[in-house]
Chains A and B, each alone.
Chain A
C-alpha cells in the first residue's frame, strides 16, 4: 500500500518535471525573433559598411538607401541570410546584381535569423525615416598614403601598430618578390580597381565583411594611416603577372638549395648502411 503510493508520487513528480522541461523548450522555440532596430544598427556597422553605404553612393556593393522599397522583404531576408546559396541557385535578381558589381559576390555573413530580421528592420526604419542614416567614413576622410611605406607594411618589413599579421602571409601581389605571397587569400594585384578605388577599399579595411578577415582584423584594426599607405601601395601594384625573369633566379636558387641539402645529408649520413648482402656478393664475385 505504502509502496504503491510512493510509486505514484514518484511518477507524478517525473511527469511534472518532464512537463516543466517541455515548457522551457517550447518557450525558447516559440520566442518571436527580436526585431530590434538597435541590434540592426550595430550589426550594420560591424558587417555591412565594408561594402555598402546608405545614401552616400555605391562602393563595392550597392547603396542601400531605399532597398526595402526596391526589393521584397522575403527576398531581402533570404538574400542576407545566405547570398551564396541564392547565387548558386541562380536567383535572377542576385545574378543581375553580381554582373553589375564587378562579379564580386556578397559573402555569407554567417548571421542567424534573428540578426537578419534585425538588420532588415533597421533598413526599413531608415527608409521610413524613423531612424537616421549612419554617417560613414569616406575616402575623402582618408589621408594621403605613401606606397613605399604601404609596401613595407604589406610585406611585413614594418609591423602594424595594433599587431595584425602582414598581408603577405595570406595574400599575393603581382611583381612582389620571386615567390610572391601567401595563397590562402585572393591575389590582391587588381584589388584596388576591383573594389572601386579608395572609396570601396576604405570601407572594406575598416570593417572586413568576410569571415576570415573579420576574425583576424576586428580585434587588431588597422589605423587610418596604415589604411592609407596600404591603399596607396595596392593602387601602385598594378603588374598583373609575375615577370618571367623572376623565375630564372628562383629555379637556380631551388636547384642550388636542393644540391646543398643533398650534399649535407650525404655527409651527415655517410656511414649509413646501404646494402650488406648484395655488396658482399658483388665483392666476392670480383675477387
Chain B
C-alpha cells in the first residue's frame, strides 16, 4: 500500500449556468501573455457539442490517452520507437485552427479613420499574424447550440445513441443542452507525463498537481497529443508547453484556485483524496464497464486508522489527512457515489469529477407545458420512472461519464432524484411520505444522507466547498533549497523567463 494525497475537484453540473466567469478569471491571471492568446486552461463547453479544441474527444483523430494492447496499457499516441521516429514531427498535433485563431479588433481605426460618409468600423485583427482576418471559429463557437447542424451534430458521444434517439434530440420540444466546464484533470495516470520525451512534466508529490517545467520543456509537443483532454498547450512565443497549474500559488496561501473562487453558480468543490498508488496500474487496466468502480476503489477512507497510519508512514502531514477527512470531494465521489470522472475510458484516471446534470435531462414538455411542473402539483412519482424517457438519452451521459456503463450513471441519477423528492416532501409537503420513502429506496439512500447531500449541494459555505489543505511547500522544498532563499527569489512571474532555444 502506497498512500498518497491528491487535491481533487468536483464540478456540480446541475448548478452550472454557462457564464464563462471561470474562464475569464483564469485567462486574466494566467494566459494573457504573448503566445498564450489561444489558450483556455479553463473552458466551458456546451454539450452536445464538439468542444475546444474541436472534437477533442475523438481519439481516433488526436490519439490521446491510453489503450489496452495485448493486455498491456499503452499510450495511444506511440511507443518508444514511434516517439523516436516522430520526434521531429508529431503527426497528431491539432492546428491552431482546431483551437481557434485568437483575435482582437482594430479599435484605433474608430478614432483615426479619415472623415467619410460611413461610420468607421473596428475590423478583426489576428493576434498571431497582426493582419485583418475573417473570424471563422472561437473557443466556444458552438455555445448554446450556435451552429449546431455543424457542431452539435458532430459530437462524438452521439455515436453511442441509436438513429431514433438522435432524431428525437433535434425535435423542437426535446432540444436540450447543458454545460461542461473543463480544466486539467490532474490525472493519476497522466498521458501527458508519459508522452513527454524530455521528462519535463511531473506530478507534484505532496498534492498531486501535474506541472510542466518551463526549464526542462524542449518543445517536442508530445504532451499535447498525449493528453486526451487536450489540456496542455504550446506557447508559440516562448517555445514551451504550458498547462493549468491548479493555481498552486493560491493553494499554497490557502485560497481556492481562481476559477473555483470566481464561480457564480458555486458549482465547484475542492478537497483532498487519499489514494493507493500501487493500484493505479490495475485500476487503469480493467474493462471499460468497470472503470468507474475501479477508480472509486483506489480512493481510500481517510478515517480508517490503517489508512491513516500508512499515509503518515508515507510522510503525509497531519494537516493533509485532516483536510482529507473534511473533503467535500470524498463525500461526492466515494461516500455518496454521485460524482463521476469525465471519459474514464481514456484511462488516465482523471481526478476531476462531475455530478451529472439532472434538470435539463429530465424536464420534459407535454402539451406545451413542463411535464414535471404538472407532475409536481400532484406527485413526483413519475420522475422516478422518467429516467428511461429522459430528454437526453442516458446512453449519452454514460458515454461522457462512465465509459458507456449506463448503470453507473443511472445509479447517480436515482440518488439525485431521491434528494429532490425527499426534500420536496419535507419542505413543501405536497408529496406523501410513502412516495418519499419509495424514492429513497429506489435511490439506495437514507434520509440522513439525502439531508447531507442537500446541505452540501444547496447551502454550503465557502469553507465547506473549498477545503484547501495546508500545503507546507516550505517543508516540501527544504531538502533542495532554503525556504527563505526561495521566498526571497520566488516573486511574481517567472524566475527564469522561458525563451526560445533556452
Contact = CB atoms under 8 A, between A and B. Distances in A.
Interface string A270-287: 011101111011001100
B365 interface: no
Interface in B46-91: 50, 53-55, 58, 61-62, 89, 91
Given A269-B89, A271-B91, A276 B150 contact: no
Contact of B55 (A271, A276, A284, A285): A276
A269 B50 CA distance: 25
Best-surrounded residue of A269, A277, A278 (most CB of chain B within 10 A): A277
A280 B58 CA distance: 12
B97 interface: yes
Nearest to A284: B150
A275 B149 contact: no
What's the interface size class on A, roughly? 10 to 19
A277 B89 contact: no
A271 B63 CA distance: 11
A284 B152 CA distance: 11
B150 A273 contact: no
Contact of B54 (A269, A272, A277, A285): A277
Best-surrounded residue of A269, A271, A276, A284 (most CB of chain B within 10 A): A276
Given A269-B89, A276-B54, A276-B61, A285 B150 contact: yes
A246 B445 CA distance: 88
Contacts of A275: 95, 97-98
B150 A280 contact: yes
Contacts of B50: 277, 280
A276 B95 CA distance: 8
Nearest to B141: A277
B62 A273 contact: yes
Contacts of B136: 281
A275 B98 CA distance: 7
Given A271-B91, A275-B98, A281 B150 contact: yes
Contacts of B91: 269, 271-273
Contacts of B89: 269
Nearest to A265: B89
Contacts, number: 44
Given A271-B91, A273-B92, A284 B98 contact: no
Nearest to B92: A273
A261 B53 CA distance: 32
A278 B97 contact: yes
Contact of B137 (A272, A277, A284, A285): A277
Dominant secondary structure at the B interface = loop
A277 B97 contact: yes
A271 B53 CA distance: 19
Nearest to B62: A273
Interface string B24-66: 0000000000000000000000000010011100100110000
A275 B89 CA distance: 16
B149 A277 contact: no
A281 to B, nearest CB: 5
Contacts of B93: 273
Contacts of A281: 136, 150
B288 interface: no
A104 to B, nearest CB: 42
A125 to B, nearest CB: 57
Contacts of A276: 53-55, 58, 61-62, 94-95, 98
B112 to A, nearest CB: 34
A277 B51 CA distance: 10
Interface in B256-309: none
Nearest to A282: B150
Nearest to B153: A284
A280 B54 contact: yes
B75 to A, nearest CB: 16
A281 B91 CA distance: 21
Contacts of B95: 273, 275-276
A280 B55 contact: yes
Contacts of B53: 276-277
Nearest to B52: A277
B98 A277 contact: yes
Interface in B358-404: none
A287 to B, nearest CB: 10
A281 B50 CA distance: 11
A278 B92 CA distance: 16
B154 interface: yes
A10 to B, nearest CB: 35
Nearest to B154: A280
B149 A284 contact: yes
Contacts of B55: 276-277, 280
A265 B153 CA distance: 34
Contacts of B149: 284
A274 to B, nearest CB: 8
A276 B306 CA distance: 50
Contacts of A272: 91-92
Nearest to A274: B95
A240 to B, nearest CB: 42
Interface in A228-287: 269, 271-273, 275-278, 280-281, 284-285
Nearest to A276: B98
A277 B139 CA distance: 12
A28 B479 CA distance: 50
A165 B58 CA distance: 56
B154 A273 contact: no
Interface in B81-117: 89, 91-95, 97-98
Nearest to B89: A269
Contacts of B61: 273, 276
Nearest to B100: A277
B265 to A, nearest CB: 29
B427 to A, nearest CB: 47
Interface string A159-198: 0000000000000000000000000000000000000000
Nearest to A269: B91
Contacts of B137: 277
A201 B50 CA distance: 76
A278 B154 CA distance: 13
Contacts of B58: 276
B40 to A, nearest CB: 15
Nearest to B63: A273
A273 B153 contact: no
Nearest to A278: B97
A244 B311 CA distance: 80
A272 B97 CA distance: 16
Given A269-B89, A276-B61, 18 more contacts: A272-B92, A273-B92, A273-B93, A273-B94, A275-B97, A276-B58, A276-B94, A276-B95, A277-B50, A277-B98, A278-B97, A280-B54, A280-B150, A281-B136, A281-B150, A284-B149, A284-B153, A284-B154
15 contacts: A272-B92, A273-B62, A273-B91, A275-B95, A276-B55, A276-B58, A276-B62, A276-B94, A276-B95, A277-B53, A280-B54, A280-B150, A284-B150, A284-B153, A285-B150
What are the 7 closest A-B residue pairs judged by CB atoms, nearest first?
A272-B91, A277-B54, A284-B150, A276-B98, A269-B91, A273-B92, A277-B98
